[in-house]
Structure 1
Amino acid sequence: MLHLRLIVPSDRTEEVVDTVEKTVGAAHLAVVPGAARNPSGDLVLCDVAREAGDELIGRLRELGLEHDGSIAVDSIDLSLSKRADEAKDDAPGEGADAVLWEHLTDATHEESTLSVTYLAFLTLATMIAACGVVLDNAILIVGAMAVGPEFGPLAGFSTAVVQRLPRLAWRSFIALIVGFAVSMALTVLFSLFMGGIGLFDRALLEGERPNTAFIYNPDAFSFVVAVLAGIAGTLSLTSAKSGALVGVAISVTTVPAAANAAVALSLSEFGQAWGSTEQLLLNLLGIILAGTLTLFVQKALWNNQRKRTTRKSAA
């Protein structure tokens, strides 16, 4: 269930209440007249089944409520209510399959912003991975994958394509390009420093690396894994299974590939630098394609489910 907290201009409260009451899957409606002060108006509270949430939020936005009032949405972890159970049964589809497009757009917009924090995490992840590739240490590589924040703008770009949001697409594209460019440039400097104090050298990079050689040797599996990870990551964002993102992060080779390219470039190992760059581009392409197609399929399936439910209700 989702909990909606609405601030509504007093002269439009009845319209909003009527919209909530007509939404299949809504429950626990409460109105507190004159409770809101900034902006002024009435406070309207309600719960709605997750599978009906996107429809209700969309109708409230059509009323312009986000401009004249406020729409706040929280997830309810526990709701002990017979009426809530009935609302979930009445709503079409399953809550786990529902996509809250407004929430997804807002979340990916924040995650795909080119901020100092985003650059710091991506740079630190790339530097950790640089140590991992030189030492051929799989633990460091996995740790770097988990730290890297690059899935945010990748998901943002896919969402922007499906929702036709050019600003979000451009923002996500800039975050990816500038983010990797800055992190790789700083990792080159980091690698030169580590080489200067005798911790990095070309012999380590060129030696046998059974745990990390795949990073600069892309093949068909690189693209297949990226596609699968893109699907899993997108599903985790659009459902309640957000814990799956950790698994996604440590199954793709974006950050390690960027790190290996940076270290190889600093040590004039141009063959590995090119191979790692190919690996990076393959992973980025696979994730974006898979994420975009997954969202398109989810949108089509959910729209079809809602149409079937509407027909049954009309009959």
Structure 2
Amino acid sequence: MRLVQVLIPEGAREHVLETLDDEGIDYAAFEEIGRGDFEAMVQFPVPPSGVEPVLERLTDAGIREDSYTIVLAPETVVSQRLTALIERYPGLRISREELYARAEDLAPANSTFFAFLVLSTVIATTGLLLDSAATIIGAMVVAPLMGPAISASVGTVLDDQRMAARGVRLQVVGLLAAIATGAVMGWLLQFTILIPPDLDILTVPQIVERTNPNFLSLFLALGSGLAGAISIMRGSGSTLVGVAIAVALIPPAATAGLGLAFGPFGVAVGASVLVLVNLLAINLSALVLFYLAGFRPLDADQVEGVRRSVVSRIAVIAVGIVVLSVVLGAVTWTTFQTESYAAQAQNEIQQEFDRVDAEGVELVSVEVAYEPVDLVLGNEPEVDVLIGIPRDVQAPPDLAQRLDDHLTEQLGRDVVVRMGFVEAEVSESEPPDPPFGRVAESSPTSLADRRLTTVAT
């Protein structure tokens, strides 16, 4: 429920009160003893969805734009007379005036916005380098990106070019500032003892996760934008939804900055594409939802211009998303291909060993090194196979080459097979461990310390 307070200009009192009577609204009117431009103040309760149509009727009755209208959200309204009013104005959508006010409140002053943005980026960059999801989530609580994303869409549908331009400007400049902050922080940390020397950021899972954008990231951004618009329209959960919007933007922006600082150009490019796609998707979903919800300017002469502006902006954003979706589609397809190859290669090698059934010979592990970039560049997959074999058993001859030929024939792609053999002895004491259980926990790259014999093709 909303409590609306309106100052009635001189000469409009009778028309205003008649309008409220026609609407079936209970009201209280008070004499105005202020500066003399107004003759009375009237206040009345009305459901949130009824504020906009009632104010439009009052405007026709003589409430000028230079008057004062205050819309309050009371904690509780106790009355049995509200049922008919609620039935007359069903729905949960807030008024145009409330939407505009909330959009302005969500876009803070520039100094406040950039202070929180830089701090959230610093926290997110720290979380990325620490591979700490909890720290990254904490950064999202600080990030102030929901306000500009919402105000840009609200300004567009309500024909406030100043608000729309400021929302777009804060988003673009803010994300560039976030990338720059991540780059500067990453560059400075390389001269300290806070991170390992010669750190390869591609070994950090939280960073790698944001360097290969696919279509799932697009769903995240679209969902965040819709959630933000709904939370503003319904007046609930805007703070938590702001976290969802920040999740889609700040971590990949910080990742792009780290890519610039540490050198892998592909990291910066992949994360930047993710930032741009998410930014466009959030704005698109919010803009479409606000327009479909029926928000329009008060002046009817502006409605047609707003419709053209909304359509043109939706078209531009959609084209941008389609163009960037080529990158998303390529990453999604190459990731599917490489992961499918890895799973098939592991399965084929396991089946081959099951067929051989050599006594005492055990397949310990199979690791396939094949990334999307390898598929694009035409690099051959690398398959590392670790074989456990008793000391008194002869290793099968040419096993690496046989597996190479088998994989090439079955999967239709040239491959490099590296094979390591580890000798093991198992005591007869009770209870025995699995013959190669402890060895299976090691990766092929760490087996050099075990003095293995390696056969490569």
Pair in the same fold by TM > 0.5:
yes
Q: In the alignment, which of 37, 48, 57 is matched to residue 46 of structure 2?
A: 48
* Superposition RMSD in Å: 2.4
Asked if the contact 2:99/2:232 (under 8 Å) is kept, the reply is yes
Structure-1 separation of matches of 2:39 and 2:185: 56
Structure-2 separation of matches of 1:229 and 1:38: 48
Structure-1 separation of matches of 2:198 and 2:214: 25
Q: Secondary structure at the match of 2:44?
A: strand
Asked if the contact 1:265/1:273 (under 8 Å) is kept, the reply is yes
Q: Secondary structure at the match of 1:128?
A: helix
Q: Secondary structure at the match of 1:11?
A: coil
Structure-1 separation of matches of 2:192 and 2:37: 60
Q: In the alignment, which of 51, 55, 58 is matched to residue 57 of structure 1?
A: 55
Provide the TM-score with structure 2 as the length reference: 0.59
The structure-2 alpha-carbon separation of the partners of 1:66 and 1:126, relative to structure 1 and needing over 3 Å to count, comes to farther
Letter in 2 for 1:128: I
Q: In the alignment, which of 222, 228, 237 is matched to residue 243 of structure 1?
A: 237
Structure-2 separation of matches of 1:235 and 1:153: 16
Q: CA deviation at 1:221?
A: 0.3
The structure-2 alpha-carbon separation of the partners of 1:202 and 1:227, relative to structure 1 and needing over 3 Å to count, comes to farther
Structure-1 separation of matches of 2:170 and 2:61: 33
Structure-1 separation of matches of 2:86 and 2:58: 20
Q: CA deviation at 1:234?
A: 0.8
Letter in 2 for 1:243: G
Provide the TM-score with structure 1 as the length reference: 0.84
Asked if the contact 2:182/2:253 (under 8 Å) is kept, the reply is no
* Structure 2: unaligned runs, 5 residues or longer: 296-457
Structure-1 separation of matches of 2:118 and 2:292: 34
Asked if the contact 2:181/2:254 (under 8 Å) is kept, the reply is no
Matched, 1:185 2:180: yes
Structure-2 separation of matches of 1:195 and 1:289: 38
Matched, 1:119 2:130: no
Structure-1 separation of matches of 2:62 and 2:129: 56
Identity %: 26
Q: CA deviation at 1:13?
A: 2.0
Larger Rg: 2
Structure-2 separation of matches of 1:217 and 1:284: 17
Structure-1 separation of matches of 2:191 and 2:39: 65
Deviation string 1:14-70 (CA, Å, 9 cap, x unpaired) is 22222333335x33x111112444865422111111121111223345567464320
Which is further off, 258-267 or 244-253?
Answer: 244-253
Match of 2:147 in 1: 152
Matched, 1:229 2:227: no
Letter in 2 for 1:23: E
Q: CA deviation at 1:213?
A: 2.4
Asked if the contact 1:23/1:52 (under 8 Å) is kept, the reply is no
Q: Secondary structure at the match of 2:12?
A: helix
Structure-2 separation of matches of 1:67 and 1:38: 17
Q: CA deviation at 1:84?
A: 2.2
Q: CA deviation at 1:85?
A: 2.9
Length, aligned pairs only: 294
Structure-2 separation of matches of 1:17 and 1:285: 46
- Map of 1:1-315 to 2, 5 A cutoff? 1-23=1-23, 26-27=25-26, 29-37=27-35, 41-61=39-59, 65=63, 67-91=65-89, 93-94=90-91, 96=92, 98-112=93-107, 115-200=110-195, 203-240=198-235, 242-243=236-237, 245-247=239-241, 249-250=243-244, 252-299=247-294
Structure-2 separation of matches of 1:74 and 1:112: 20
Match of 2:423 in 1: none
Structure-2 separation of matches of 1:202 and 1:159: 48
Moved over 6 A (4+): none
Letter in 2 for 1:106: A
Asked if the contact 1:7/1:69 (under 8 Å) is kept, the reply is yes
Q: Secondary structure at the match of 2:209?
A: helix
* Structure 1: unaligned runs, 5 residues or longer: 301-315
Asked if the contact 1:65/1:71 (under 8 Å) is kept, the reply is no
Structure-2 separation of matches of 1:35 and 1:82: 32
Structure-2 separation of matches of 1:110 and 1:123: 20
Structure-2 separation of matches of 1:261 and 1:255: 10
The structure-2 alpha-carbon separation of the partners of 1:245 and 1:286, relative to structure 1 and needing over 3 Å to count, comes to farther
Which is further off, 280-289 or 206-215?
Answer: 206-215
The structure-2 alpha-carbon separation of the partners of 1:202 and 1:84, relative to structure 1 and needing over 3 Å to count, comes to farther
Structure-2 separation of matches of 1:172 and 1:130: 25
Structure-1 separation of matches of 2:117 and 2:221: 19
Q: Secondary structure at the match of 2:40?
A: strand
Structure number having the greater helix percentage: 1
